[in-house]
Structure 1
Amino acid sequence: MNRNAQAVVLAALGALTLRVSVTDEHTRYVNAAMKWPLVVSGVLMLLLALSRVLRREDGGEPTTPAVWVLLLPVVVGLAVQPAALGAYVADRRVNDVSAQQYDEPAVDPLPRDRTTDVGLAEFVSLAAGYGEALAGREVRLVGFVTHADGAWFVNRLTISCCAADASAFRVRIDAGDVRVDVPAEKTWVRVVGRWAEGTGVEGVDLPALRASAVEEVPAPRQPYE
């Protein structure tokens, strides 16, 4: 590969890396904390490409057509923006709450005098082992909708490192006296309500939320908790 071909490949990779990091697209694949390492990597690749162009000597083997195959993944990455993980993963990795998550000293109860924003993973874990912290408290959950067996659920995925290690958390919604149409699958919603006491204990079944309000919302910029 000659100098110019090296510069083109490096520049393309650098541009793609910068694009997915600056636009927060990387949060569909890796932890949000990876943003700045990706930005630095993209800038370094662009600088390396520039250095190859500015060098006067031309070294390396002659460029063959096969070299340009290296650009195909970059072209695909620039043209296609895969969606974040969703219902498929949620159905297969739902509520994997290990005993270690709640086999610890009791946590402080949530406040009674206000609605508390709670992540799906936190809500599931509290229901599994700290029901007293949720009982009688009003919470607000945000997630995407799935349907199964005549019921509907709010779901959220979490990742530690990348999408490959994603875990899914699901809460069944009991509408109660709330007169709302059941949201369509994959719709993002904000649900306010109270934990249905006794559900989700020790991860045996799904925790349920008795909803007092359901509102459709746009998908968050960072889809994972």
Structure 2
Amino acid sequence: MTEPAADAAAEDDPLGGGRHFEPDLRRMTRITLRPIASPMPLGFYAVAIASVIVGCFQLGVFEEGARRAVGLAILPAFVLQLLVAVFAFGARDVLAATLMACFSGLWLATSLTLVLDPPGGVRVLGVLNAVFALFAVLMASVAVRKRALWLVLCTAVPRFAVAAVANLSGAAWVGTLSGWLGLLLAAVALYTAFALMLEDMRGEEVLPIGRSGPAHHAVDGDLSVQLRNLERQAGVRRTL
């Protein structure tokens, strides 16, 4: 076998002794676009609708026996936000996916507690709301540049912290305050969802949501900005 033929055989056999390395990785790079829309408007709309239902319940808009009806009304938020989390994980947006998945679990727990009314359920919800408020603080500390998420989180922190106090103390005025904060959270989530939907439809920012840093470059930056540190992205590097 001649030397060129031997080299060709070594390159064709990945298990053999010869190895071939591509000197220019750009020739091996492929960009694949996933044909999915942004799931975030749906997620924020689900937060808004569930927050309105719970807030109105805390404010006494519904009659006394409406606990089960409220629980059933917010149950779809669990399904919708779980769906949003799945698509956000697929889009490799760990902040959005984690937030939506935890919101989904919160609505499920709240719905089941209201519907089944187990002994001690209100105090358990109080602890759950307190832990979720702490989670929202931690998430807000790393989501500053994604102002849409950050704004919703900053509104969610006092809402769930006050809800925890209301559940644990049983004070009526604290429950009323939690209800108003729930409506404020709903208003912020509605604005964010509407702004993101308009942006997605028109291909540009219509209502301000205050993006900065990488979140800003993801929308307004050119392709070279998008490809920075590509070799360190999940699915490109060997391990997560």
The TM-score normalised by the length of structure 1 is 0.26
Q: Which has the higher helix share?
A: 2
The TM-score normalised by the length of structure 2 is 0.25
